[in-house]
A and B are shown apart, each in its own frame.
Chain A
Amino acid sequence: MKNNIKQRRGFRFAPALVALVIGICAGGVYAAHAADAKGGDLGKLHASAGVACAMCHVDAKHPAPVPMEKCLGCHGDTRKLAEKTANVKPRNPHENRHYGTEADCNICHHQHKKSENFCLPCHQPFNFDVP
């Protein structure tokens, strides 16, 4: 037992180190996002429509993660959305076997980086243009 405690000590420094690394990464990620936003993605579209950062992120200086409910607050129920896209070919992207009509918007529609076609890696014929 005594031995165990001694062994533990050797690694107590780890949190400090980890915090440092996270600090650096976080800085980098933030910078990258800021650059992308200027590149004309959905985040920019929102901003140009008068949606201020804080309307999604609560506090612009310390942006909180955005839960999907925020999207729905303005854009409405995803079931309605699925009805609107029912005739999109080759299939309705908003109703599928994996999530029904409740896929998280953010799996495809990104705000601060390029949006992606989440279906594509598995279903190669589903070549949607994702705004």
Chain B
Amino acid sequence: MDQDTPQHEKEMDSYTQEVLERGVSRRSFLSRTALGAAGVGLLGVAGLGTKKAEAAQGTEALEFAKSSDGGATLSFLPKPNPISDKEIKTTLTFDVIVVGAGASGVPAALSAAENGAKVAVIQKHPMPISQGNTGSGIDLATSEKAGIEALVAKLMADNNHRCNPALLRQWAYNSGEAVRWVINRAKQAGSPVVDQGTGPQHGIAKVNGYTLNYVTSFFGPKPYTAGDGMRHLAKTAEKAGVKFFFNMPAQQLVQSKSGEVVGVIAKGRDGKYTKFLAKKGVILATGDYQNNEAMCNYFIPDLKHFGRKQMDRTGDGFAMAYWAGGVIEPIGHTKMLHDFDAGPASMCDMPFLAVNREGKRFVNETVDMSLFNNYLRDAKNAGHYSQIFDANYMTQAAKWPGKLVPPEGLKNYMPDDPSPKKGVFDSLINTHVADTLEELARKLEIDPKNFVASVKRYNEVVASGKDSDFGKPADRLIPVLQAPFYGIHRRVRVSTICSGILVNENHQALDADGKPIKGLYAIGNLGGGFYGGVDYPLTVFGLSLGRCYTFGYLTGKHVAKL
């Protein structure tokens, strides 16, 4: 190792070093495994005698990826079957190929086109697809530098210090410009997007006493989302010359003999292949892998029993980058699970009594909704819980952080109420009201007996003024006594997984030696290094989309200018 260590590896930051050491890549497996017991163990399990093993030694490259200790065959990362030139229907050449038309891909394509490149976007779906409403950036002109650094430090802590600080800083110092640009360009195509500024970020308008201001794009209200926003942005991109190819999932990368990524092969609805050649680079923006069950079970088994909010995110970009020599961040990926739809989003973190599907209290309710998933991972609860309050909530919870919606407004979230709904997804609302606790339990689909007992116990705790069961502060204890009783039945599901491929500050994928892979870039949730905690932090509201826009904007520009 010593004398082989390239110079640049010695200067590497600790995040990159760590991922190179423990991440999953082709080389990490090949070099690490056969060394010791792990390799021998696998031979044993396979039941192959030494002779047979030797006989098989001549066979060329592996068919599946391997875990970094060599112990597991990663069937979710199968080696792509070679596609011969004969099978290619059409070959098209562009400067930049973007794979995936979502929150990072569409901005990347437009940004590359505005910087003079001829750009193609290959998209799996029949149209650009993304999700969410809020994306955020920092307004540099009106923020103190110490504030920006304080926020970066706060995000580092949110990420359990397991991320690449350089990438956080890159978001911090470029996001205002990028988010503003997204707003402007989406508006050009008629999007109703607005800049909400620092409004939604009131909790971080000051960090450690330093002032910050924000640019907060809001693609909404629902049912309008960032998906519609990206469709608007794509119209602007088309005007700028970007060519979109829909219903065309990318299948594999095209590499030169030296390993440079020179293109992508995609498959059309007719089953035929198109080869897209890229003169400057391929930007992978295929999102996460939440719909790839085996891959989730391997990298983030916590998700086993949770529902999914997205579709068709099978980790295609991970497989492509892996086989091109890229490195996947080590096991223990960061997850994002929410339910902002069942009831008002502004009440989701308010510490009302919360019960699980069995009707039992399970947590100190001052824990954020975004972390509740950690208490509801089992097959029975599978992310379901209900927030419970009584007729007096408007007065008794008036001083809590968050924003209470009065009873009249709650009707907008009640599927059983005939009122017309506004600004919500009708099929996802799940708030209920009832005159008895038993009836409420029925509506919330929880065990009435347990529920009534839990409420009784909770009321005793409240009356005593001390939460001897979970330690919730006294000023967050209000009783559930007076009808009508309310319940918001939330079901947190996987919004996204936000760990990815190891990249440098140009968002170029690195190989297992830490060297940039020529021609290959990864952005959005496919890009690694930006998170690292158990859960996605909600410190900056809309950080995820803000980061996708920002890195799309920067990477498009960078690759176009090569």
Contact of A125 with B415 in the complex, beta carbons under 8 Å: yes
Q: Which residues of A contact B11 (CB under 8 A)?
A: none
A122 at the B interface (CB under 8 A): yes
Given A17-B48, A100-B127, also A8-B30 (CB < 8 A): yes
Which A residues are in CB contact (< 8 Å) with B58?
A: 12
Are B34 and A69 touching (Cβ within 8 A)? no
Q: Establish whether residues A121 and B308, one from each chain, have CB atoms under 8 Å apart when the complex forms.
A: yes
Q: Mark A65-99, 1 if CB is under 8 A from B, else 0.
A: 10111000000000000000000001000000111
Contacts of A97 in B (CB 8 A): 223, 227
A92 to B180, CA, bound (A): 36
How many CB-defined contacts (below 8 Å) exist between A and B? 100
**Cβ-based interface call for A27 (8 A):** no
A7-B31 contact given A98-B129, A121-B308, A124-B427, CB 8 Å threshold: yes
**Taking the complex as formed, is B33 at the interface, i.e. its CB lies under 8 A from any CB of chain A?**
yes
Chain B residue nearest to A4 (CB atoms) is B31
Is A1 an interface residue, CB under 8 A from the partner? yes
18 A-B pairs in the complex with CB atoms less than 8 angstroms apart: A7-B31, A7-B33, A10-B43, A11-B30, A11-B62, A12-B57, A12-B58, A15-B56, A15-B59, A15-B60, A18-B63, A18-B73, A67-B271, A90-B427, A103-B126, A123-B427, A123-B428, A125-B426
Contact status of A125 and B46, CB under 8 A, knowing A13-B56, A69-B271, A102-B247:
no
Question: Chain B interface mostly helix, strand, loop or mixed?
Answer: loop
Chain B interface (Cβ < 8 Å from any Cβ of A): 4, 29-35, 39, 42-43, 46, 48, 52-53, 55-64, 66, 70, 73, 125-127, 129, 223, 227, 247, 269-271, 307-309, 311, 415, 426-428, 493
A residues contacting the other copy or chain, number (CB 8 A): 34
Nearest residue, chain B, Cβ from A12 = B57
**Nearest-CB residue, chain A, relative to B270:** A69
Interface residue ranges of A1-54 to B (CB < 8 Å):
1, 3-4, 6-19
Residues of B contacting A17 in the complex (Cβ-Cβ under 8 angstroms): 46, 48, 56
A-B contacts besides A13-B52, A99-B126, A121-B308, 10 pairs, CB < 8 Å: A4-B30, A7-B31, A12-B57, A13-B59, A14-B59, A15-B56, A67-B269, A99-B127, A122-B307, A125-B427
Alpha-carbon separation in the docked complex, A99 to B129 (Å): 9
Q: Cβ of B126 and Cβ of A102 under 8 Å apart?
A: yes
Give the distance in Å from the alpha carbon of A4 to the alpha carbon of B4 in the complex: 12
Q: Flag if A122 contacts B428 (CB, 8 Å).
A: yes
Known: A102-B247, A121-B307, A121-B308. A16 touches B56 (CB 8 A): yes
A126 and chain B: residue at smallest CB distance: B427
Going nearest first, the 10 A-B pairs with the smallest beta carbon separation are A10-B34, A13-B56, A102-B126, A67-B271, A12-B57, A123-B427, A7-B34, A16-B56, A13-B53, A18-B63
A15, B308: Cα distance in complex, Å: 33
Chain B residues within 8 Å of A124, by CB: 427
Report the Cα distance A7→B57, complex, angstroms: 11
**Which residues of B lie under 8 Å from residue A90 when comparing CB positions?**
427
Residues of chain A within 8 A (CB-CB) of B223 are 97
Find the B residue at minimum CB distance from A1: B4
A45 to B42, CA, bound (A): 46
Chain A residues within 8 Å of B34, by CB: 6-11
